[in-house]
Amino acid sequence: MQLDLLTKTTLALAALLSLTAPSSATDCSRAVARVVSETGGELLSATPQNRGGRNVCVVTVLVPGHGDERPKKLTLTVRS
C-alpha cells in the first residue's frame, strides 16, 4: 500500500507529538503543516526549540527538484 503525502505528514506529526512536550508539539504541528503545504515538500524532521526566549520550530523538508534536478533538503525556522 502506497501512502500519500498527507498521510505521511500526519504519521510524522503523530510521532513528533509522542516525543515532545504537548504545547511545543501542538505549535510545531501548525508550522509543519504550513511548511509542507507551501513548499510541496516531504517532511524529514521537526524540532521545537527556544531561541532567545521565543518558541520556534526547525522544520526540514525534502523539496522535489525541477525537471532532472535532484530533490533539495530545505530547513526552515518557523515561529510557533
- Rounded to whole angstroms, how far apart are CA atoms 9 and 27? 15
Question: Residue 36 burial by CB count (10 A; 0-12/13-18/19+): exposed, middle or buried?
Answer: buried
Q: Domain limits of the chain?
A: 5-79
| The residue type at 23 | S
Residue 40: per-residue pLDDT: 95
For residue range 39-68, what is the model confidence (pLDDT) as tens digits? Answer: 999 999 999 999 999 999 999 999 999 999
pLDDT bracket for residue 21 (50, 70, 90): low
What is the DSSP code (8-state) at residue 31?
H
Judge whether 48 and 28 are in contact, CB under 8 Å: yes
Please give the model's pTM, rounded to 2 decimal places.
0.68
Per the DSSP assignment, residues forming a β-bridge with 75 are: 60
Mean pLDDT of 10-33: 67
